Amino acid sequence: MIIKFLGTGAAEGVPAMFCNCRFCTWAREQGMREVRTRTQVLVDDGLLIDFPPEAYYHSIAHGVDLSSVETLLVTHSHMDHFYAHDFILRGYKYARLGAPLLNIYGNEEVAKVFSECTAREMKPEVAPHICFNQISPYSIFTASGYRVAALPAEHVCTERALLFYVEREGRGYLHLHDTGNLSDEAVAFLADNGARADAVAYDCTFGEKSGNLSARHMGVSDVCVVRDKLAAAGIIDGGTINVITHFSHNCSPSRANMDDLASRFGFVAAYDGLRIEV
């Protein structure tokens, strides 16, 4: 299983869109190496997790054939995770499709955003090429040959944000952002369903800043708590690659700073374009 981190920044991006803080000013001067676009993960060229405004840019920068992606899992409706306007372009004269049908999986708010954002411009010729599947926490389904388990995130009270465990041919990837500390029920659900993650991506929005800043996201000390929980439940072991990602400009997430932070706590720091194979 190949996991590609196409974007690794929090909602505002790095450098942040409207920010002139010292870090963002520095990052803007460094060129693309220090840029972190909004988060998106590609598994094996066929399964995408989330669809930020940079999905189009990611397809160019990282050579992703979006026309052949059959499955899109959406964590929640926040704009950095689901920019739905682009879907009006999936077909008709705008695209020759590798996969005739894209299946999108998301919660009821994601379903609403999908219909709101496509209502004005979706041509009848395009609509049949996308199927929206509404899912809830604790659902398990098969998509493009992957077994997918959706678990509840600790993120917002306005919708049931999701996290995903994706498994194929004995390899597993656990996608944990946006979220705070996982509930015991969510961990038990994974363990009860035989989840064994070879790689985990953790929300580390706050970088080194200590926990309790918000229950919606994590810093590295919160991530360590979640990692310990997963290990105690047998979901990860010593061979698991633990990746931190979804960094905010507030934690000065230069490549060097995040590499240093990650190595001190036994993680790998994601950057835009990081590819891992498990």
Binding site for Zn ion (CB under 5 A): 11, 16, 19, 21, 24, 78, 80, 178, 249
State the minimum distance, in angstroms, from the CB of residue 4 to Zn ion.
18
Cβ atoms of 74 and 98 closer than 8 Å = no
State the minimum distance, in angstroms, from the CB of residue 73 to Zn ion.
14
- Nearest Cα to Cα of residue 220 among 195, 248, 185, 198: 248
Our CB check for Zn ion shows the closer of 19 and 127 to be 19
State the minimum distance, in angstroms, from the CB of residue 217 to Zn ion.
8
Q: To 10 degrees, what angle do helices 220-232 and 255-265 make?
A: 40
Our CB check for Zn ion shows the closer of 158 and 263 to be 158
Our CB check for Zn ion shows the closer of 19 and 233 to be 19
Distance (Å, whole) CA 267 – CA 105: 29
State the minimum distance, in angstroms, from the CB of residue 152 to Zn ion.
14
DSSP string, 49-100: E-B-TTHHHHHHHTT--GGG--EEE---SSTTTB-GGGGGGSSGGG---SSS
Our CB check for Zn ion shows the closer of 84 and 126 to be 84
Our CB check for Zn ion shows the closer of 3 and 162 to be 162
How do 199-203 and 130-134 pair as beta strands? unpaired
Give the tokens for residue 144. 């493009």
- Nearest Cα to Cα of residue 38 among 16, 56, 13, 71: 13
Helix (H) or strand (E) holding 220: helix 220-232
State the minimum distance, in angstroms, from the CB of residue 135 to Zn ion.
17
